[in-house]
Chain A
Amino acid sequence: MRRSLGLIVSRDVVPGRTLALGTTIALATLAVLMPLAVVVLVATTADWRTLGPELISPRMTAAFRLTFGASLAAALLDVVCGTYIAWVLVRRRFTGIALLDALVDVPLAIPTAVAGIALATLYGAHGWAGAFLEAHGLHVAYTPLGIGIALAFVGLPFAVRAVAPVLAALPKEYEEAAKSLGANQAITFARVVLPQLVPAILAGFALALARGLGEYGSVLFISGNLPLRTEIAPLLIMAKLEEYDYQGAAAIATVLLLSSFSLLLAIAALQRRLTARSVRA
């Protein structure tokens, strides 16, 4: 009775729907959708007889392989360590946890260019980490490993912040029950906690991956931008722009947009299936 009344009231009482919805759609179109559509439009006007072979040239395929490979590896490292960090943040109470909590947000808070020059200096031949690692024969700056570290840096907050609230909302009783039945901490985490976190972990993975696929500022300085070796896809777009080849830049951007979207949509679909299954269970 009350519910049906509420529905009638809500449909009638709040006026201004057409104006509010119309303005929202118009602004979103103007600021985001139209510019993106223009990129795709400009790409279609390109001369594909010369552009087609260029898109599958070794330089392009190497850049895309590196972009996707490094992003996937970094996102994977982020969710493995991020899930564990989230568990520490939610389940452990001691002084110093506030510092960990604050540090996790730093990559989101500091500008990417700042992170970029800091990482390049830190892992450079004279940096604290670079000098140590190079003495042990490990080169980070100007290698794919350096790009992976930069992407793991920017993606970490997404992995932690996607998992922590879900973990905090899990009833502690499940873990206590598992413990009282004799499971140790590791088994409790693997068999009781982890399965319930899978959708959240996938969400964090998708966010970290999305960030990594498009990342520019934090990678620019540490990568060295060597074609075929350490050049990522957003840098290819920059190279095209420096030659005033707008259609080529738009074509690469379209390929990057479409490939990122399809990968992220696949993860979203997988996440929905797993969520539906855990709700049914």
Chain B
Amino acid sequence: MIVEVSRPATATAGMAPATARTAPANALPALPAFAFVAVLVGLPLATVFYEAFRSGLAAAASVFSEPYAQSAIVLTLEVAATTVTVNTLFGVLAAWTIAKYRFPGKAWLIAAIDLPLTVSPVVAGLAILLTFGPHAPLGAWFIAHGVHVVFAFPGIVLATIFVTFPYVARTYTTYLLEQGRELEEAALSLGASVWQTLRKVTLPSSRWALLTGVLLCNARAMGEFGAVSVVSGRIRGLTDTVPLHVEILYNEDAFVGAFALSAALATLTMAFSALRTVAERRGQSEGAAPKNP
């Protein structure tokens, strides 16, 4: 009896047809999944590169010699660098605070940091516009002191910070919570200061988890569109980022330029996304990294 049950062929003999088990390869049940993802995701991705290069390499490359495209690329890199710096510093602080201290209302703080994930980018941009715009008290104060926030670099950065606010904090908090605080307690009891503990104990042991969040934040920051399009004012050569310039070119029927710029931007953000996966796997192989960032 026992021997019979443990033998799969005998066990299924009189039951439902054992087609799945006798299928020649593991791959067969995966085919519909492949087909679905190929149509829904693969085709749009292929469209980007096909449309970019359909008139040849030279036509695609010519968009990068346009001054407006060049200034958009510079602006996007500056915005991404500023946003990632701010959100990384905040992410480390927030993760350290949430993981290492006890305080009431911790769940509320986590929910507040995650809030931008459920807010429309357009609403995010509107929030920055209404808070720092010329009609708002805060915006008027900034203008009185010679700083233009909205329709200028600071506004674009603030909108991008809002949208990408949770990415570093979320990944890094999950990781630090899993790690507990024994290492920090040991360092502190041996006489290290908080700053030394963070720099020499916490950060080195968690660098891959931090990098995972930073790379994700960077990929999102470079591609942000909705929030930035509300606050940028779209002044060509000044407040026009790469995603906004893609929209301008597309609406002007400059399809090759729009898709060439898109292909370059998508390649960059996909590379950062792939690096993120590498960092995540590296962290997992070196210790327990966040399973669900």
Residues in chain A within 8 A of chain B (CB atoms): 9-11, 13-17, 20-21, 23-25, 27-28, 31-36, 38-39, 42, 81, 84-85, 88, 92-94, 96-97, 100, 102-115, 117-119, 121-122, 127-129, 149, 152-153, 156, 161-162, 165, 169, 179-187, 207, 210, 213-217, 220-221, 233-234, 237-238, 241, 246, 249-250, 253, 256-257, 260-261, 264
Contact = CB atoms under 8 A, between A and B. Distances in A.
B59 to A, nearest CB: 16
Interface residues of B, number: 100
Q: SS class of chain A's interface: helix, strand, loop or mixed?
A: helix
Contacts of A184: 12, 15-18, 20-21
B33 interface: yes
Interface of B: 5-6, 8, 11-12, 15-18, 20-21, 25-27, 29-30, 32-34, 36-45, 47-48, 51, 90, 93-94, 96-98, 100-103, 109, 112-113, 115-124, 126-131, 133, 135-136, 158, 161-162, 165, 181, 184-185, 188-189, 194, 219, 222-226, 230, 243-244, 246-247, 250, 255, 258-259, 262, 265-266, 269-270, 272-274, 277, 291-292
B42 A103 contact: yes
21 contacts: A16-B194, A17-B101, A32-B112, A36-B115, A39-B127, A92-B27, A111-B266, A112-B121, A117-B250, A119-B44, A121-B47, A121-B51, A128-B43, A153-B40, A156-B41, A179-B11, A184-B18, A187-B16, A238-B230, A246-B135, A260-B120
A193 B126 CA distance: 44
Contacts of B130: 35, 38-39, 42, 246, 250
A264 B118 contact: yes
B226 A21 contact: no
A14 B230 contact: no
Which of A11, A27, A221 has the largest number of chain B CB atoms within 10 A?
Answer: A27
Lowest 3 A-B CB distances belong to which pairs?
Answer: A111-B223, A214-B120, A35-B127
A111 B47 contact: no
B20 A118 contact: no
A234 B120 contact: yes
A186 B185 CA distance: 50
Which of B126, B128, B181, B189 has the largest number of chain A CB atoms within 10 A?
Answer: B126
Contacts of A103: 37-38, 41-42, 45
A14 B44 contact: no
Contact of A92 (B29, B116, B291): B29
A250 B125 CA distance: 11
B223 A14 contact: no
Nearest to A149: B40
Nearest to A162: B292
A221 to B, nearest CB: 7
Contact of B273 (A105, A129, A237): A105
B225 A106 contact: no
A73 to B, nearest CB: 14
Contact of B292 (A85, A153, A165, A187): A165
Given A14-B194, A118-B47, A250-B126, A110 B93 contact: no
A37 B181 CA distance: 35
Which of A34, A106, A111 has the largest number of chain B CB atoms within 10 A?
Answer: A111
Contact of B269 (A15, A109, A215): A109
A161 B265 CA distance: 24
Contact of A216 (B26, B162, B225): B225
A231 to B, nearest CB: 13
A31 B158 contact: yes
Nearest to B255: A121
Which of A121, A149, A169 has the largest number of chain B CB atoms within 10 A?
Answer: A121
Contacts of A9: 185, 189
Nearest to A237: B122
B101 A113 contact: no
